[in-house]
Structure 1
């Protein structure tokens, strides 16, 4: 809304001036002459300069119209005029009928004609003026960016182009058949409050997906949110979305695309945020405001938060003024005024607070993004305390000061003058003390700013994946944060250590591991002392644990196990000290469970599987205890599932296959339940895929190939869906390749499928350091390829070349990156396969097996025999290859005993069944 206060003159900057005048001029041009004159008269009282400028522009328009200006088109007819007939072909699509028309253009139903797929699409023809001369390529790039929005609740962008010699831009979108706007759908189905919020959560999931890819919608309204007959939400029209920037660029340096520059000011006034109508900067909080209006409409039965019944016929200027100046009527009060006392009681309290927070005038006071709003609505559905709180007295006072800024400002000047005179006399009397205080104040201000930048601000950047933006801030602040710790107070040391830890975390996320060590070591040094006061114990211990965890994570990733273990033992130690003082502190219990899990993963990689199993069991038990008191903590549920999978992996490496199956099956069932509960949350689909993969491995080891293949197929379907949603996610692509390789086990004839997997794996690793965790997959694919060649009756020489080349690569990795159990096992597996399957000469086979046994029976691998099932199984096969039946039998007996062990294991208790003790 334009501020029409008489004391405010029009901006001198031409761009800002036009942004202020343009919406008002559009409104006046749409009016009849009589209404226009009345509106100008009303404006004259409020803002004479603004009214005069509008009168001048209207007079110019009238003069130009009298001269016949633009009576004839300056350009050839655009496509919008040419294709207004069914049967017209645009690219690969044939138009059938127009299905919509709006300010941005028209929408047509069309059918593809080139045979690539059958079905209907919606083609949106955008106003040709959106593109300037030579901007067709720019628009095509815009279409590619919008195509990143691949989400079940977002209408998919299929194609984009510019027709008619670059004059007519268009988008080809997924067609939502028989879809109703979300408000009409809710009313037609007479959904109750909980059902409406559940449906609204699908909208929030779609918007959060866009926010995570740095794209805003900026025109969220019921007409852009359709619900089909099955109750599936589809979010439409990202055509005016503003891109925050490329993920590789700084957030502040993002430039608007051409589509945004030309159409970025378009919005629907009824759903526009205050900063939009004032021409200010937009952010994720801008979309949150529109979502707040939509939620208010859905829950109030169609009432707007800033337009009561008496304003239903208000003009656009009044509506815009209300957006900026009027506080929304409380949701429950709105219903009470309509005589719906029962529903008002239902909405009073938390839902009032959630809507009010989403509709704050200042963006910084709203939910920071759609995900944060969704979290509070989920808490309401689950009868949990919400994160938002009712307005404090401080906030009410702030609103009072803003409404009466002139009077308060005048009083403040007088008070400031009085304080200034008093301060001057004090400075003259106590210069030395003041100088010291000033230095302390400046240092505190610097610390406070850094604490915000590397604390609260970091938390805001994590959800949109832009934490790396703090790297420059952290790098320049590094010396300040680490210096003068002797003079710093305990609270200052705590803030500095937390900021240093964030710098380390940022660098770890950028894979700058060496650069991360310095700030993390300094953070650990700042917190070496014990917590100075009982009140600081939780924050101090948590900060100590975070600094130790990230330092250990760096060393663990570098495969430097000794310093990683020292750091993570420190993490466990400070968590135990936390609980020694506050034994019932749930956050302390969670941190201790994380420390146990970290140490367990380290021990597992060192082959110390028994000790690792105990650590994972402690981690699962601690999380189960906390989940008994926080049963709906989604983050902890995910971590519990992760710890359960780690426990299953340790059991698998111990050879306890049946026991591992039980654990993996439990993790899979939990993931499937929560996937059903939260279908838009991709994290649970990922956990379904991982749990199915691990369960399939356990079943395969247990001699159940058919059941294993079924679960490999389940994992393949999960990761194929995820990869389609985000093709750039390397972790999901790797998991998909691993699952597909599992499906091919035992299918010796599938040579083309195996070759395809090998090509995809090579492309995934192109130009990157080989990942240790992929060595087993690499070795398995080579074995599958060699078996397929043999099955086709081809010469063994080709298979030998494949195996030798892969072994050479593994040896290079071992030399370059040091010994690693995963790498050692992959090399031995592949070498033994070569001896058993590809060695025709018995003497050559024996020589190779002897070399393998020499490696297995020497340190450090000898210690893993009868400890690690994978290496023990290799030893059994090697001894059999050498004809040492007795030695092979003794080792096999240990494997059999491990398998039998599974008959009576203590199983982890699911969170919902843990007693409150």
Structure 2
């Protein structure tokens, strides 16, 4: 049975996102029950819920009961709102006298109101006007107040590019008073249509856009936001004058009203917008600011200059549009223009490279604080671009300023350059021969410094920025290009050796990220060999030693990473011991260097996980504690670094798992609870980042798994349900991400412990089979397959399907035997095999002799490494050993639905 997703009911105080994820599965369960059965089930749940969660569930059930009894279908909606008579009598308004104006024809209508072309009928002037008033279908108190607010807003705006308010009044109808506004009539076409029809070039389009920006800036200076800027709300007259229309959803920033007490009008109109031009904060229903209009202007600018929406093809459905606004990064403006159908824009795409790309990107930032603060600032940068001056969105540099100067004064620079060259030619001939050698040397040194600086940036800061977003192809290009350049040096200096090692490490890292582990080993080994010596000190800057140590540690880490994933634990330990050694030397030479502290903490964490894999639990615990101490000190100095916070939570999870294996359950659950709390805080602070959602999902799973193994089944179900919900959300965002799909299968498998469903386990087995790729083997996958196989066999036995259970278990046990033979040091793999062997002996032995033989085989496996080495401290392994001993002494019964303990191996 699949879980039905419910949207939270509207309550006086709604749940937090974390509370909703926690309570949603329980609400599903309660709503599936008959009404009479809900109260007893809620009473059972009260033992595991806090008072706030219990009260929230009670409110939802009460609201459901009220809604089920509401007579929604007894009368037509029009009769219920008392508008049926008005809707039928209104009809065509052509020729109607409204104040001093006679309506001629309807210009358009929307959800709020209709607009009619009219002329003045009292002879005071002969011009055309636009009369706007509400349809009766939306003539409620809130809609009327919103309509009147538009009149007040427009009355405060006097700008040549904003349609003026001319008059206002109330027309009396039999149904009641009908308010209306009389606006300046603009005979024009939407701005995008105008640009296309007139075939405007890039500079002409930017100039026209600046008229609109000036109008928005005028409104913002009067504390007014438009909030619905789009081409249809901007008309351009045949003379080329842009007019901004429709402040109907504008938000009046009244200085006299506190932000914490919005008016009823603000609550009614506050979330009206056009989705494709809406800013992320509008979609999330957060506070809007002047930066909200800047985002819409950025979308408009992108559309006018490229003929496309910033998110391109990601806006085909409503769901895609929402995702595009909230998550999808915008395309580069010049790239989109180069691909557009308008040949003129495509040819001029080169003009948009650089500054216009930067301006558009800044206006379209998802974070309002990262955009231009208001329309005035955006317009100022566009004017600088038109004048070929440096823009504010790019950092100042001598080279950039010089480029802008040359673009502004090309003729003068050319003439001045020619004169200067002539002067230098006349006066410098006599000095040329004498200075030739010195000049060449200076140029060589200058080029070398520039090359070193560029390589350091490309292999350092630039690569660091690419790693979190997974741009492996760019990292590969960076490493390859750098290595090609460095290969030209016959006798490399220490700096060139460092750069070459960094380039080789980047190449190895990219190959490792693509699971090309054998191919990754060669460049990483070369990098390791280049950096074997101690960091040179003579003639090097003060920071050179730190860069050398960091590069040494990075190469060693990736060599260990490859060996670890290939299950060559001795080789991985050797590499990671070197990683720790160079980090310790770095920290010893610079005790205050936070980067050195962090690298040493990472090295301890890697060695700890390696010890954990081999069952050396006490060593693992000590190393995890050391890593935790180092990260705690680093976090105190870098409180705003989310990566350190995430790593701290991650180490807590590893430490909690280790304590659980040592049998210290209360301490383990406390540590794992801290890890989940930190992960939840990170997710709340970064709601749009999928990485933090994945981190929280893993933390919830580990805690739920630990609670189940500790006998706290009720609490375990809640955390496992949270993990399933989080992994489901991630898989819906990107079904191709294999770790997310595996995480969902792992969490759903854990939910089935105790009383597995045959249908659910068959479905999970099929999903796991589709996810299993031979080119990317994973011990975690093998252990998960073993648990699914055991639970499936258990469910089959409960249905009396003995032969199916034997076949299922036999196939998986054969695979585990093969994998365990190839991975002699992997403790989890051997424990999974032992678990299945015991289950086979206990449940599927048709005779006492066969049971004794299988039990003896399981008992013999405990005498071999790595099981024998871990038996002293490993609590789950000790339970398996006790089961193996008991298995030898018991008499087999008829195979049936026995329920042995859950998988003991984590």
Normalization by structure 1: what TM-score? 0.59
1:793 to partner: Cα distance? 2.1
The answer (yes or no) to whether the contact 2:611–2:620 under 8 Å persists in 1 is yes
Residue aligning to 1:709:
717
Residue aligning to 2:647:
639
Residue aligning to 1:575:
583
Matching of residue 751 in structure 1 with residue 739 in structure 2: no
1:797 to partner: Cα distance? 1.9
Residue aligning to 2:361:
288
The DSSP-based 3-state class of the residue aligned with 1:529 is coil
Cα deviations across residues 839-862 of structure 1 (Å, max 9, x unaligned)? Answer: 131221111111111111133421
The answer (yes or no) to whether the contact 2:388–2:408 under 8 Å persists in 1 is no
Residue aligning to 2:799:
792
Residue aligning to 1:510:
514
The answer (yes or no) to whether the contact 1:200–1:295 under 8 Å persists in 2 is no
Distance in 1 between the 2:329 and 2:847 partners?
70
Q: Structure 1 pair 702/460, CA: closer, same or farther in 2 (3 Å)?
A: closer
Distance in 2 between the 1:275 and 1:457 partners?
29
Cα deviations across residues 764-820 of structure 1 (Å, max 9, x unaligned)? Answer: 1145343111222111111111111111122x2211111000111222334556552
The DSSP-based 3-state class of the residue aligned with 1:303 is helix
Moved more, 278-287 or 757-766: 278-287
- Equivalent in 493, 496, 504 of residue 492 of structure 1: 496
Distance in 2 between the 1:185 and 1:472 partners?
33
Residue aligning to 1:523:
527
Distance in 1 between the 2:369 and 2:488 partners?
51
1:829 to partner: Cα distance? 0.9
Residue aligning to 1:649:
657
Residue aligning to 2:249:
none
Residue aligning to 2:614:
606
Matches within 5 A, 1:298-697: 302-303=375-376, 305-306=378-379, 323-325=385-387, 356-357=392-393, 360=394, 391=396, 396=401, 399-412=404-417, 453-455=458-460, 457-459=462-464, 461-462=466-467, 465-471=470-476, 474=479, 478=483, 481=486, 487-533=491-537, 534-697=542-705
1:603 to partner: Cα distance? 1.4
- Equivalent in 852, 864, 881 of residue 846 of structure 1: 852
Residue aligning to 1:770:
777
Matching of residue 720 in structure 1 with residue 738 in structure 2: no
Distance in 1 between the 2:619 and 2:598 partners?
20
Distance in 1 between the 2:289 and 2:193 partners?
39
1:714 to partner: Cα distance? 1.1
Q: Structure 1 pair 445/512, CA: closer, same or farther in 2 (3 Å)?
A: farther
Distance in 2 between the 1:884 and 1:400 partners?
92
Distance in 2 between the 1:468 and 1:297 partners?
27
Cα deviations across residues 721-762 of structure 1 (Å, max 9, x unaligned)? Answer: 1111111110010000000001111123x1111000011110
The answer (yes or no) to whether the contact 2:459–2:499 under 8 Å persists in 1 is no
Distance in 2 between the 1:24 and 1:180 partners?
16
Distance in 2 between the 1:431 and 1:393 partners?
27
Distance in 1 between the 2:888 and 2:462 partners?
64
Cα deviations across residues 186-242 of structure 1 (Å, max 9, x unaligned)? Answer: 9999998xx7499899999x9xxxxxxxxx996469xx99xx9xxx98756999976
Q: Structure 1 pair 185/537, CA: closer, same or farther in 2 (3 Å)?
A: closer
Residue aligning to 2:837:
831
The answer (yes or no) to whether the contact 1:220–1:290 under 8 Å persists in 2 is no
- Equivalent in 866, 869, 872 of residue 875 of structure 2: 869
The answer (yes or no) to whether the contact 1:616–1:647 under 8 Å persists in 2 is yes
The answer (yes or no) to whether the contact 2:291–2:374 under 8 Å persists in 1 is no
Distance in 2 between the 1:460 and 1:277 partners?
26
Distance in 2 between the 1:869 and 1:701 partners?
11
1:531 to partner: Cα distance? 2.9
Count matched residues.
627
Matches within 5 A, 1:241-280: 261-262=340-341, 278=351, 280=353
1:545 to partner: Cα distance? 1.5
Normalization by structure 2: what TM-score? 0.59
Q: Structure 1 pair 101/472, CA: closer, same or farther in 2 (3 Å)?
A: closer
**Structure number with larger C-alpha Rg:** 2
1:530 to partner: Cα distance? 2.6
The answer (yes or no) to whether the contact 1:196–1:299 under 8 Å persists in 2 is no
The DSSP-based 3-state class of the residue aligned with 1:641 is helix
Cα deviations across residues 459-494 of structure 1 (Å, max 9, x unaligned)? Answer: 454455332345366457657747868x33322222
Q: Structure 1 pair 281/814, CA: closer, same or farther in 2 (3 Å)?
A: farther
1:690 to partner: Cα distance? 0.7
The answer (yes or no) to whether the contact 2:476–2:510 under 8 Å persists in 1 is yes
Distance in 1 between the 2:888 and 2:193 partners?
92
1:275 to partner: Cα distance? 7.9
The DSSP-based 3-state class of the residue aligned with 1:858 is coil
Residue aligning to 2:13:
none
The answer (yes or no) to whether the contact 1:783–1:830 under 8 Å persists in 2 is yes
Matching of residue 883 in structure 1 with residue 892 in structure 2: no
Residue aligning to 1:909:
none
Matching of residue 783 in structure 1 with residue 862 in structure 2: no
Moved more, 578-587 or 818-827: 818-827
1:597 to partner: Cα distance? 0.8
The answer (yes or no) to whether the contact 1:202–1:233 under 8 Å persists in 2 is no
The answer (yes or no) to whether the contact 1:482–1:522 under 8 Å persists in 2 is no
Residue aligning to 1:913:
none
1:418 to partner: Cα distance? 7.4
The answer (yes or no) to whether the contact 1:675–1:684 under 8 Å persists in 2 is yes
Q: Unaligned regions of 5+ residues in structure 1, if any?
A: 1-22, 43-98, 105-175, 207-215, 245-251, 268-273, 309-319, 330-355, 366-390, 886-894, 899-917
Distance in 2 between the 1:765 and 1:858 partners?
29
The answer (yes or no) to whether the contact 1:218–1:240 under 8 Å persists in 2 is no
Distance in 2 between the 1:293 and 1:306 partners?
19
Q: Structure 1 pair 639/239, CA: closer, same or farther in 2 (3 Å)?
A: closer
Q: Structure 1 pair 293/746, CA: closer, same or farther in 2 (3 Å)?
A: closer
